[in-house]
Amino acid sequence: MTSNNTPTILIIDDNPMNLLLASKILENNNYNFATAESGLEGIALIKEEIPSLILLDINMPDMDGYEVCRKIKEIEKWKEIPIIFLTAQIHTENLVEGFEAGGVDYITKPYKSEELLVRVKNHLELAASRRTILEMNRSRDKVYSIIAHDIRSPLSGILMTLDTIDQGYLNPSSEDFKEIIHQLKIRTQDTSTLLTSLLNWTRTQDETIVLHPKETNINQLINSCILLLEAMAMSKNVVLLMEITDNIDSWCDEVSINTVFRNIISNAIKFTPSNGSISIKAKALESSIEVTIADTGVGMPEDAIRKIFEENQHYTSSGTNNEQGTGLGLMLVKDFVKKNNGSLQVSSILNEGTTFKVTLPKTQSVNGN
């Protein structure tokens, strides 16, 4: 099968003339297609590459279309493939059996090319809409999970502390009271930061989000992040070293990339012990720019990197001073870099540090992004 953005239709039919007819109709309308003369051959092709839709003959020797359909629907990652049956029979019992097996439609032989194309187009669009809805549901569930895990806990602690103060159990003039107020402020700020990241990350899940790429001075952008986070670094005696001498420009959306670097540097400060350092370097390559942010912090375990960057899962941990830490910020970083046509790499050694490498386009691409 051919892999590109054009849908691929798999035709399974034991009659070579039927295969030729259907494939010619699809080919003349710019669809990719693959053909199989038996159910077993068709299943073998699906294992190589999952098609966008299957046209499946019912009356085949050895294994009929109903059985082929049932076997396909048994595989979790194949369940959502729309299957249209091709049949010369249109009896009610055949229709019922086909739908029970998992088919979405029937086309009666002999069929006209217009009918085949309309059915194919409609079911491809329906399948795409279904995938969008399922992905929206997964994103919603992920947001709910993050809220339950990372926001409910600190809010409960804040409410308990406020209740203790309200009940008059603490002396307002005592040192303990001052420390509790200080910790309450930090916890509230952390929760506010988390909510901001949550809202930003939710925005990235909307495919209609519009970025505004332009020629952006990376030096100025990183400097603005450092100025914002300098106090946070100084409170931990962490040194921020910006080692960028030349003016470096990138074609990117300034707001989202500012969020990227702010999140990475903020995380580096959180997970770097006192007296540590964070170095920020940038260089221009042939068609891109590369920014490297390396810290001398506690590092990240391999499973955390895999969860966040490969499996897009939420991972939470606390900073070296028990600061609120969440993998949500890094998920946001990954999504924003991707939307700016860039790439992100991370390497980490436990108890030695973590290095992030962000690559962004130097100039506007041919397609205008």
Question: CA–CA separation, 154 vs 255, rounded Å?
Answer: 28
The share of the chain scoring above pLDDT 90, in percent, equals 46
327 token code pair: 């993998």
Query: From the CB of residue 171, how many other CB atoms can be counted at a distance below 10 Å?
Result: 9
**Boundary residue ending a domain (67, 95, 111):** 111
Q: Is 254 part of any domain?
A: yes
Q: For residues 95 and 224, state if they share a domain.
A: no
Residues in the chain, total: 369
Average pLDDT over residues 102-106: 92
- CATH code of the domain containing 97: 3.40.50.2300
Q: For residues 341 and 219, state if they share a domain.
A: yes
**Boundary residue ending a domain (94, 111, 128):** 111
**What pLDDT is attached to residue 205?**
58
Q: For residues 105 and 217, state if they share a domain.
A: no
> Is-contact 27 35, C-beta < 8 A?
no
Separation of CA 123 from chain center: 25
pLDDT over threshold 60, residue 369: no
**Boundary residue ending a domain (111, 143, 166):** 111
Q: Is 163 part of any domain?
A: no
Q: Is 30 part of any domain?
A: yes
Q: Is 154 part of any domain?
A: no
Average pLDDT over residues 22-50: 94
Q: Which residue has the higher pLDDT, 355 or 172?
A: 355
Concatenated DSSP letters for 95-111? HHHHHHHT--EEEESS-
Q: Which residue has the higher pLDDT, 144 or 257?
A: 257
Q: For residues 219 and 348, state if they share a domain.
A: yes
336 token code pair: 């924003």
pLDDT digits (tens, 9 = 90+) for 281-291: 999 998 999 99
**What pLDDT is attached to residue 142?**
63
pLDDT over threshold 70, residue 203: no
Q: Is 133 part of any domain?
A: no
Q: For residues 236 and 366, state if they share a domain.
A: yes
Question: CA–CA separation, 334 vs 154, rounded Å?
Answer: 26
Contacts 24+ apart (CB under 8 A), 101-106: 101/66, 101/67, 101/69, 101/70, 101/73, 102/69, 102/70, 102/72, 102/73, 103/56, 103/69
pLDDT digits (tens, 9 = 90+) for 311-350: 555 555 555 655 555 455 677 788 889 989 999 999 999 9
Q: Where are the alpha helices (DSSP H) in the chain?
A: 16-28, 39-48, 65-74, 92-101, 113-146, 152-166, 175-204, 218-235, 254-270, 302-305, 328-339
Sequence-separated (6 or more) residues with CB below 8 Å from residue 121: none
Q: How many CA atoms lie within 13 A of 93 on its CB side?
A: 0
Q: For 5-9, 187-191, 214-218, 315-319, which range has the lowest pLDDT when averaged over its residues? A: 315-319
Q: Is 72 strand, coil or helix?
A: helix
pLDDT digits (tens, 9 = 90+) for 211-223: 789 999 999 999 8
Q: Which residue has the higher pLDDT, 179 or 353?
A: 353
Q: Which residue has the higher pLDDT, 51 or 61?
A: 51
Q: Is 364 part of any domain?
A: yes
**What pLDDT is attached to residue 366?**
46
The total number of structural domains that make up the chain: 2
**What pLDDT is attached to residue 82?**
95
Top-confidence range, 46-55, 151-160, 242-251: 46-55
Question: CA–CA separation, 49 vs 2, rounded Å?
Answer: 9
Q: Is 47 strand, coil or helix?
A: helix
Q: Is 129 part of any domain?
A: no
Q: For residues 75 and 215, state if they share a domain.
A: no
Q: Is 223 part of any domain?
A: yes
- CATH code of the domain containing 274: 3.30.565.10
* Residue whose C-alpha is closest to residue 264's, from 350, 353, 180: 353
CA distance readout (Å), 332 to 73, 205, 264, 313: 34, 10, 10, 11
pLDDT over threshold 60, residue 269: yes
Concatenated DSSP letters for 314-359? --EEE-TT--EEETHHHHHHHHHHHHTT-EEEEEEETTTEEEEEEE
Contacts 24+ apart (CB under 8 A), 117-123: 117/25, 117/29, 119/84, 120/9, 120/26, 120/31, 120/53, 120/55, 120/84, 123/53, 123/82, 123/84
Q: For residues 220 and 364, state if they share a domain.
A: yes
**What pLDDT is attached to residue 232?**
82
The share of the chain scoring above pLDDT 70, in percent, equals 81
* Residue whose C-alpha is closest to residue 244's, from 216, 195, 282, 275: 282
The overall average pLDDT reported for the chain is: 83
For residue 287, the enclosing domain spans 211-369
> Is-contact 72 78, C-beta < 8 A?
yes
